[in-house]
Amino acid sequence: MRKLLSQNGLKKGPWTEDEDLKLIQYVHAHGPGNWRTLPKNAGLQRCGKSCRLRWTNYLRPDIKRGRFSFQEEETIIQLHSVLGNKWSAIAARLPGRTDNEIKNYWNTHIRRRLLKNGIDPVTHTPRVDFLELSNILNAAKINLSNFLNLQTLVNPQVLTLAALVASSNKENRELFLNNNINNPMNPNLKQQDPNFTCSPSNFPSTQNVSQTHPMQINDVQLPPTNLVNMNTDASSQDILMRTRLTEDCFNISNYGSQFTSVVSESSSFQPLYTVPTTQTFDDSVFSSPITSPSPFISSSTFINNHSTEDERESYCSNMFKLDIEESFELNDFM
Partner DNA sequence: AAATACAGCAACCGCTGTTAG
Partner DNA sequence: TCTAACAGCGGTTGCTGTATT
The vertex-55 CA angle with 49 and 61, nearest 5°, equals 165
Which C-beta is closer to DNA: that of 112 or that of 190? Answer: 112
CB 237 within 8 A of CB 231: no
Distances (CA, A) of 13 to 1, 19, 47, 82, 325: 11, 12, 11, 34, 57
Residue 60 touches DNA, criterion: CB under 7 A: no
Question: Least Å distance between CB 9 and DNA?
Answer: 13
Which C-beta is closer to DNA: that of 37 or that of 143? Answer: 37
Residue 40 touches DNA, criterion: CB under 7 A: no
* CA separation for the pair 226, 310 (Å, rounded): 38
Out of 54, 93, 213, 244, name the contact with DNA by CB under 7 A: 54
Cβ neighbours, 10 Å, residue 187: 9
Residue 52 touches DNA, criterion: CB under 7 A: yes
Out of 108, 152, 277, 300, name the contact with DNA by CB under 7 A: 108
* CA separation for the pair 106, 116 (Å, rounded): 14
Which C-beta is closer to DNA: that of 88 or that of 277? Answer: 88
* CA separation for the pair 171, 83 (Å, rounded): 30
Which C-beta is closer to DNA: that of 63 or that of 175? Answer: 63
* CA separation for the pair 204, 294 (Å, rounded): 9
Out of 28, 30, 64, 112, name the contact with DNA by CB under 7 A: 112
Question: Least Å distance between CB 81 and DNA?
Answer: 14
Residue 56 touches DNA, criterion: CB under 7 A: yes
Binding site for DNA (CB under 7 A): 1-2, 6, 11-15, 33-37, 46, 48-50, 52-54, 56-58, 85-89, 99-101, 103-105, 107-109, 112
